[in-house]
Each structure stands twice: as structure tokens, then as C-alpha cells.
Structure 1
């Protein structure tokens, strides 16, 4: 029996927390002005995307003790921006990254519930964690959380948040027709929780949201992260964009769901994806190469090298060969970025690639940090996306354009109609909440 064709899910990521945005392009706009957020969100809604996604950092990144000016400086707080976007969009989901290490469940659950009410059921929370003492210096408790404890805290944080969102029973208050007032019929908002990470009790201030719980997104790729996603997440923001890696990741995470009593359809896997379009395959390939050259300029290439080598490499020629210098594994020069893991192995891998392909430093960084997931004509990109989804390499993709705020326009105008022609993408919204868009059961 032939399996029905899967529907493609799409979301839009507002770029800017890394070197994604091509600042040199004259079409590149502000990363702070509200008009930029509105433009990208409305483009995504015009394309009937599932949701709009904001990343966020809690401290300005530093390189060699100085603010790393290739990152965005001054990005507004995510949930505030999303609450404002709720007023200028109608159906688009609104997803924000909020850290579970440096926030408290009651306060954050209240803010997310507020967004869900204001947007009539379109809120989502990308749960991230941190064991970074550098980031923790911004907070009262500092870098107190051991790396091994970050998912234990996050798991209990999500569990407690759901308890708070459920603390109001659907019929806790009913309207009295004679007085016009609400009458209490049950225990309103009462909660009590005692766990390893949190001991709290009181009353939650908001009734259940339109979709009961905001959608939970998770992006961890470690074994602990995959297990956390299988137990608690609705969507995984994955980095596995190739067909082979995507299928392996997809099968691994979906297989874990059964131990938590979940069905595969209850978790959507949506890798980050970029794209480069052209009227011909050759034009698209040339455009992709040019985008990467602009994303990885000389200064960025040296910055990436320093992050892995843990040394000041400012004297290295980015257009010359990789220098014969061993990495400094004891120290690092970059703070506020996700850890590179085993830097010794990574440096050895980079050297092998550089030697085998005779690459300059800049060419090497372009090679190992390549981002264009889909390259081709609109027809071939639509086909590639569909093939990935039908092959169970993904349930859809979170698109990261290289321009702010207009980088999504071409995709919506040229690729989305072709996905609709293939019968795998909606022509209009049929539901009101984000859970309905994602077909979450």
C-alpha cells in the first residue's frame, strides 16, 4: 500500500545572530527596527508558513576580549518583538528562543501564556540551555549550573510550565448572565510543585491559552538533547540538512518517542536550511558561491580559525595556507559562543581538508561552514525539499535567508507556488493555532 504524500512544513528564521547576513549587500537592512521584523513576518505569512522564529543571545559575544562586531549588537528581546508582531499578523506562528537556565518557570510561563492569548494560539518556545559561566555573569546566580545538569533543569522547567498552563481548568470561571461577572466554579490557578530543581506553589494568573500549551521547540543535538526532545518537544530545530544525515537523525529521534508513549506524528523535525536560487543551475551555483564569499570575509575566516585553534591568529593571511601551528587546547579566545567540543579533533579534520583540497584559510572556512542547503532553479529547489520530506529526512525546514529583511521574498514568490503545485504545501491556512498548522496531535 502506497503511503500518502507527507505535507511539507516551513518556517522562517530572522537571521543575524551569526555571520549569516550579507551586510555588504545594499538591500541589507536594520536588525533592530521593528519594520524589519514586520517585513519578514508578513512575507512568511503571505507564504502560509507555519511560524516565524527568533533566536536570541543573553550576552554580547567577545573575541579576544572585545565585542565581536560581526555578530548582531542590540537585538531586541524576543518575546517583546513577537508580542508586537501578534498585532500585525493573523495566522503565522510566533516562536522565540528563551533560556531555561537563566529564567524562572512561573515568570516565563506567564510571558509565554500572555503571547499565546494575545496571538490567539500562535505562541512557541524554543527551549535552550546554558552552562556558560561567561553568560551567567549577567545574572544573580552566575555560571552556577554544571553542564551535566542543564537538561535536568530544562526538563523539569518544561514539566512545571505545563503544570502552570493547566492549572486553570476549562470551566474554572463562568460568566453569570444576570450580573455580568465571572463566577468561580472550581479552584482557579492553584499549583504546587516540589522537584529536584524547583519548589514552588501559588496561583497562576492566566487561564489556559487557545492551544492549551505553547508549542515547544528544542535544538540540542547531543544524546541528552535528543532524549529531551523525544520526551518533551513538539518540534526539533535540527542542523542535519543533508539527505543522508537527515534520515539518520530523523530515524534516531523518532525511534526514541515510543519510550515516552508518543507517536511519530507528535514531533516535527525541521532542520535549518538556506537556499540560493537562479534561472539555471549554473547561475544558482554561482550565486551560492558568491553568498558564501560575502558571508565569510577575511576577518570572519580568521575569527573562525581562532575559535578552533584557541590562539590569536591575526597575523595569518586569510588568503594563504593554513599555518603549521598547533591549537591551544587549554584556553580559548572566544566567549559567548556554543562550544566547539573536541577542538583537537576538529583542528585535525580541518587540516586534513585543507591539505587534501589545497585550500586557503578563507576557502577552508567556507568549505567547513557551508550553509546553502538547497541550490538550483525554483523547480529543482521545490523538488529537493519535497524529496527530503518524503524520504523521512525531515518534516519540513526552517529557512534562514541571507538578507534582512527581504531575503525570504524570492522564495515565497518563486518556490512556494511550485510546492503547492506538487500538492505538498497548503494554499491557505485552514486552522487558527500553531498546533493546527503543524498538525500536532
Structure 2
């Protein structure tokens, strides 16, 4: 049963598939794990997602291999083929599935980015999506002519203007010229190809800062979040969707889709045991120390991963790790981890496992379907982007076992009713900017 009353139409669940291979999500040692480079891996996951009637297939992107202690540490998304190239190939072997690529708005240019996504939208007949990300670190910038030129405070102002220019380019198509002169870009010309089938490819954004939330409310169609509890999800949704009206947007114009993992079992106990074993494989002793070193900023190789946390204070700003997300106040985080370790009697490795887990749905297929439904009916999310732990077969059992139960509950489609990603998401085709009527 859903959480809606009998005379209400239940909210529909949106689902997307994230190709694994980021950080320690993937269990590479599993014998079922295959290449993150071979096209057959991408094809397998995409075909599975389409068989499950998912909205879209999502590829992350990286622009430089991350380093730790001056050495490349792990496989990362930057070790894969370039995202739009892969998705153009997947357009030929899928029919309805949306195709979402991550492209950085800091180290690219809006005209060329708009042209590439317009091409993908045409080749896929209206299934393209762009996950807009930003970067402020000079380490990544060393791969580009401008280097680390962009101040952190400016990254969203550039991204907002970047998206605005791209939409002007899409609206121009081959029929009219456009001209833009702004703080970051001066661009004049036309697209070349006709306006994309969706008008604008779907724009996805992932950012939780106040600036990120404001950017999502003003410019995004989908926001990719990490809020893990029902209460946190409802608060985030209320905050972001509460900002839409000032941009002339309705509540349904933005879909909130947290990234989640899942583990299924025949019983709740079996699922929990499988989940614990997966986490032990994801957080090896080496990875546990590396994660701790990212917080403490010093070499901790002399510490036992199965022993207690260090009693020394962190040393911020050492540059021990390059290309990784900033963790905030390291002193506060270290004390929080120490307190957790003391209270629960956890070792270094156990503490890292406890504190770095993603939101996960763990249980029988029926329990997982019910929990997903609960989140959506409660307004904590519009759906989820699933991040399996195996490449490329990790989505198979979800499609086979959970999707039919969501369909039985009347909250997930039994067939595609449209041909474009916007139609899957229930998003309107935007009018060209030169045809829009200003609101009063």
C-alpha cells in the first residue's frame, strides 16, 4: 500500500541508473565485476535500465585523476572514455532511455557544450541531459589553459551564465543568430543544427550549498542530492522547491532525485549481512587509512586500520590529497569521528565504514519497494538515481525484483508513454527565449 488515501492519485516514482565506478562505491574485486572502459559494460547497464523503464542513464565525469601522497590512488571516472562520446554510441542501442552526461561548466565553453548536447539530443531523438558541475580547485585546472583561475565564490555565477548562453544557442538553432555579452562570456553566432527536439536538453545539477540550491531553483530540471533520511529529504525538498516561485517556476518543474545504493536479500537479515560484506569490500584497510588521512592531513600509515583513531589533531592545508571534495572543518569532523569511535567501540576501518556510507535501501524487494514509495509519497524525493556496486550487472536484480512491485503499487510506469526524456520526467518543452512573454 502507498501512503496516499484511496481517493488520491499516488505520486509517480522516477528512477535513473548511475554507471558505477566512483570512489569506493564499486566492488572491483568481485569476480562479476567487469571493465569500466569496454563499451559492452555501458551497453549492458543501459539496456537493463531501459528494460526497467527508467527515466535516464547517468554518467559522471572527472577531469583529472586524483592523487594521494603524490601518487594516483584509485580508479576514477576520469579513467573512462569521455561521457558524451559514450552516450552518442548508446543512443544507437537504446530507444527510449534518457542519456545524461556530466560536463564541467568551469573548464568548458558554452557554445561548444551546447552544440555537443544538441547533437546528442538529435541523434537520440530527444533523450539528452546535461549534469552541470563546477570546479574551483587549481589541481584540476592544471589540465587546462586557464589553470585554477576561478575563485570559489565565482563558480556558480559562471555556471548560471554558462547555462543561460547554452539555452540561447539552443533557441537560436539554424534559423536565427544570437548575441550574448556578459560577465564571463561574449558569444555571437548560431547553432548550426536545428533547435534540439526537446527544445533544451534536460539540465541536472548537484550542489547542496545555498548557492547550489539557488542555482538549481533558477536553472535545473533535476537536482541530484545525497540527503539520506526522510526528514532531511523533506526539508531539502521544501527549501529548494520553495525558491522556484521567484523564478516563475512551478513545483513540478524541478525533480529531486537523491543518489542511493541498494542491497536485496530473501530476508531482512540476509540483506543486512550482504550489505555489511559489501561495505567491508568497499572500505579495505588501505582505503580506510586513506580516508582518515584526507581528514587528518598527515601520513597515518603507521596506524593499524583495526586499531583506534589517532589522538593527534588534524593538520589542515597540507595538500596530502589532490582533486578530492573539501571536507569542511576537519577539527570538527575529527572530533565527531572520535566520539563515534568511543561510543560504539569502533576501529579506524569500522569508523570509516560507519561514516562514509551512502543512503542505502537494504532489505527484501518488497521492503525496498515500500521504502522507496514512502519517500516519494512523503515528498522527500521525486525518485532516485540508483548507484549499483557492480559493473555492469549490479542493476539487474533491482529491475527484475523491485520494479514489478513498484508497478503493482501503481507508482511506476508499466510502459513508456512518451519518446523524450522531458516526457518521462513530466517536464514541459520550453518556449524559445525570443518567444517568451515576460511575467508581470
- TM-score (normalised: structure 1): 0.94
> 196-205 vs 220-229, which deviates more?
196-205
Q: Which residue number corresponds to residue 437 of structure 1?
A: 424
Q: How does 1:16-415 map to 2 (within 5 A)?
A: 16-71=21-76, 74-168=79-173, 188-371=175-358, 373-415=360-402
Q: Quick one: structure 1 residues 393 and 21, their matched pair in 2 at CA, closer, same or farther if it must change by over 3 Å?
A: same
| Runs of 4+ in structure 1 over 4 Å off | none
Secondary structure of the structure 1 residue equivalent to 2:292: helix
1:73 Cα deviation from its structure 2 partner: 6.1
Secondary structure of the structure 2 residue equivalent to 1:274: strand
Post-superposition Cα deviations, 1:362-413, rounded to whole Å, max 9, x if no partner, equal: 0000000112510110000000000000000000000000000000000000
Secondary structure of the structure 1 residue equivalent to 2:305: coil
Secondary structure of the structure 2 residue equivalent to 1:408: helix
Q: Quick one: structure 1 residues 238 and 286, their matched pair in 2 at CA, closer, same or farther if it must change by over 3 Å?
A: same
Secondary structure of the structure 2 residue equivalent to 1:394: coil
The answer to whether the Cα contact below 8 Å between 2:228 and 2:358 also exists between their aligned partners in 1 is: no
RMSD: 1.1
The answer to whether the Cα contact below 8 Å between 2:297 and 2:316 also exists between their aligned partners in 1 is: yes
The answer to whether the Cα contact below 8 Å between 2:62 and 2:78 also exists between their aligned partners in 1 is: no
Distance 2:32 2:281 in 1: 14
The answer to whether the Cα contact below 8 Å between 2:45 and 2:395 also exists between their aligned partners in 1 is: yes
Q: Which residue number corresponds to residue 422 of structure 1?
A: 409
Post-superposition Cα deviations, 1:230-277, rounded to whole Å, max 9, x if no partner, equal: 000000000113211111111110101111111110000000011110
1:70 Cα deviation from its structure 2 partner: 4.8
Distance 2:160 2:139 in 1: 23
Q: Which residue number corresponds to residue 184 of structure 1?
A: none
Secondary structure of the structure 1 residue equivalent to 2:280: helix
1:72 Cα deviation from its structure 2 partner: 5.2
1:339 Cα deviation from its structure 2 partner: 1.0
The answer to whether the Cα contact below 8 Å between 2:23 and 2:74 also exists between their aligned partners in 1 is: no
The answer to whether the Cα contact below 8 Å between 1:164 and 1:189 also exists between their aligned partners in 2 is: no
Distance 2:166 2:370 in 1: 40
1:3 Cα deviation from its structure 2 partner: 4.3
Distance 2:326 2:340 in 1: 21
Structure 1: runs of 5 or more not aligned: 173-187
> 192-201 vs 67-76, which deviates more?
67-76
Q: Quick one: structure 1 residues 209 and 73, their matched pair in 2 at CA, closer, same or farther if it must change by over 3 Å?
A: closer
The answer to whether the Cα contact below 8 Å between 1:311 and 1:332 also exists between their aligned partners in 2 is: no
Structure 2: runs of 5 or more not aligned: 429-440
Q: Quick one: structure 1 residues 3 and 231, their matched pair in 2 at CA, closer, same or farther if it must change by over 3 Å?
A: farther
Q: What is the total number of aligned residue pairs between the two structures?
A: 423
Q: Which residue number corresponds to residue 17 of structure 2?
A: 12
